[in-house]
Amino acid sequence: MFYVNPSAAVACFILNESGQLLVCRRGKNPEKGTLDLPGGFVDDNETAEEAVTREIGEELQATVIESKYLFSLPNQYEYSGLMIPTLDLFFACKLDDTNNLKASDDVADCFFVPLDELDPELFGLKSIKKAIARFLDQRFTNSTENSDR
């Protein structure tokens, strides 16, 4: 029996000192030109945490000083006409510097967006849309719980 197991991928939620979320514009297909979170596929013989550090270095020319696993979502990623199942692992990350980021590799642009201006529908990949909505919902729920105390 042959099983089509998902490939592992990572995506990062990075907030600046003003509490704005770092978003990237995809420079390549699938979904070229849409918004995304920084991240990418986990390489062979690499942990998810190592992939986070490597991808942030490649895509933003930045250094991760802390990463915390948040949740995972399944996804379908189109590559060379094939639909590849993935398991996307989402992390909250802190960088050594959020002021001097440089879009590189397959990222066309990167910028910070206030949380109240984020629209999940502007993100191209289905799992990222769901992750943005979940992130916003959790932040709203947490802030409401904290204000009730």
Q: What is the mean pLDDT of residues 62-88?
A: 95
Exposure of 113 in the CB half-sphere (CA atoms within 13 A): 20
Rg of the chain, C-alpha, whole Å: 15
Q: What percent of the chain has pLDDT over 70?
A: 93
The sheet with strand 107-113 has its strands ordered as: 35-36, 21-26, 107-113
Q: What is the mean pLDDT of the chain?
A: 94
pLDDT digits (tens, 9 = 90+) for 10-33: 999 999 999 999 999 999 999 999
What is this structure's pTM?
Answer: 0.92
Rounded Cα–Cα distance for residues 62 and 139 (Å): 25
Residue for token digits 């006409």?
81
pLDDT digits (tens, 9 = 90+) for 44-74: 999 999 999 999 999 999 999 999 999 999 9
Q: What percent of the chain has pLDDT over 90?
A: 86
Exposure of 120 in the CB half-sphere (CA atoms within 13 A): 12
Rounded Cα–Cα distance for residues 42 and 139 (Å): 27
Rounded Cα–Cα distance for residues 13 and 17 (Å): 13
Rounded Cα–Cα distance for residues 37 and 24 (Å): 6
Rounded Cα–Cα distance for residues 117 and 131 (Å): 16
